[in-house]
Each structure stands twice: as structure tokens, then as C-alpha cells.
Amino acid sequence: MEPQAYTELQQLEPTHWWYRGMRSIVAALLASAGVHLADSLILDAGCGAGGNLTHLARYGRAVGCDLSPHALTYAAEQHAGRLVQATVEALPYRAGSFALVTSFDVLYAREVDDDERALAEFARVLAPNGYVLVRLPALKVLAGQHDLVVHGARRYTRAEVEAKLRRAGLTPLRSTYANSLLFPVVYMVRRWQRNRTAAAPSDVRPTPRPLNALLAAILRLEAAWIGLGGSFPIGVSVIALAQKVEV
């Protein structure tokens, strides 16, 4: 990502509706799948400014890695766990080290040359019967200015994500699109951005408090549905949970 994107991330991640809502969806997905980590070791691969490490710490001992020194500087300010500078395609950890590996909107970045090699690395560092949880931007039709700011190079369908997980030796347990109720609005905004001649800023920006609360509530509704075992047929993101099943 561009350096200013990490600054925006660090400033807004604790309160911004999108991050709050996505954390609710992650919690609902893990709970609905019966994931019990029992204070195990967790890796956030591509931890960014560290906001998700704080959330993951409720499940176990969370550590993070990221390629960007800017990201790690911000992450160190709010997270006491071990942080390492590394690419997700060559993780500096022993095989079988983690009960859960998460990766949020990382594999689509242009800094990742081979997303399937990264997934294979996630599988390698997983303990037997451990879990991988990935979230990625969905659908090429939604590509916009935000992708340029955060160096987004690819977008995914739900089927593509599941296929890539299987090729990495992982068994998909649940997958769904997310940020689905707002999909029509996001689609129209992205179309408008593509028709503009001036560059638009990142999507991550301060939101007025009443609107921020409303949008967070919409994502919490999605989280409730996902927690009940539901899924969405389309959305701005795709999220998948897979397991390293031992035969």
C-alpha cells in the first residue's frame, strides 16, 4: 500500500464502520464453525497497522508479519505480541506452528506475486487440523481508485477462493460474500469513479458519526445472518474459512 494508506488505516481502524463490521463477521464465522482455539498461537499474515491483532488476541496468542516497515511501526504501537517483517509467500516460521492463520485483504495486493504460493505457506505453518481464514476483495467489476491506493492487483469470486484453498491442501468449511447489503451503493460509486477524470481518494476516510453507526449496524446484521449459518450470493468482499484436515 501507499504510505498514507497505512496512516489512514492506523487512525480509522478502531472506529470506522467497515473495520468494526468486518470484525463482527469474522467473529460470527469462527463461532458458527465451532472453532475453539484454547489460547493457541495465531498468525495474522499481512497484519497491516495491527488492528486485527488486537481483535485476534481474544482467541489466543496473536503474532503478526508484514512486508511494510510502515505497517509494523504502527502495529508495534498497539500490539505487544511478536512482529516480523516478511512476505506472505515465504513465512519465517516452522511448519505446524499455528492453530489459526488469518489474512485480511492481503493476497490481492501487487506485492504478492503468487497468491497460491502464499496459501501454501499458510498451510505449511498450520498445525494439524488448524484453520485458515482469508478475506479478499470480490469481483473485478468493483475495481476502483481504492485498489490503486492500496496496490490491489486482483479481485476474486467465492468459487475462485475455494478452488485456491483446495489446491493449497486446505478443506473449505464455510465461505460467503460479505458487505452484501451495500453492494448496489458500492457498485454505483465505483462506476462513477471510473467515469471521473480526477483521481478519487481511498475509500477509507472519516465518516460522520450517525452514518458510521448506521453502516456498522448493517454489517452487524450480516454478521448475525452468517452466524446463523447463512451466506450471501454477492458482495464487496469474499471471506472463507478452511481447515488443514489430517487424513
- Torsion sign (Cα): 230, 234, 239, 240: positive
Q: What is the pLDDT of residue 191?
A: 84
Q: What is the pLDDT of residue 1?
A: 65
Higher pLDDT, residue 195 or 140: 140
pLDDT higher than threshold 90 for residue 206: no
Of 154, 131, 179, residue with least CA distance to 33: 131
Segment 219-232 shows an average pLDDT of 98
Q: How far apart are CA 159 and CA 175, in angstroms?
A: 9
What's the distance, Cα to Cα, between the start and end of the chain in Å?
A: 39
Q: What is the pLDDT of residue 2?
A: 63
H runs (alpha helix) in the chain: 3-12, 17-32, 51-56, 69-78, 115-125, 145-149, 158-167, 183-194, 209-227
Q: What is the pLDDT of residue 198?
A: 53
Q: What is the pLDDT of residue 197?
A: 52
Higher pLDDT, residue 77 or 171: 171
pLDDT higher than threshold 80 for residue 67: yes
pLDDT higher than threshold 80 for residue 193: no
What structural domains does the chain harbor? 3-243 (3.40.50.150)
pLDDT digits (tens, 9 = 90+) for 88-113: 999 999 999 999 999 999 999 999 99
Q: Calculate the average pLDDT of the chain.
A: 91
Q: How far apart are CA 149 and CA 157, in angstroms?
A: 21
Is residue 18 within 8 Å of residue 212, measured between CB atoms? Answer: no
Answering whether pTM is above 0.85, one says yes
Range with lowest mean pLDDT among 6-10, 112-116, 117-121, 196-200: 196-200
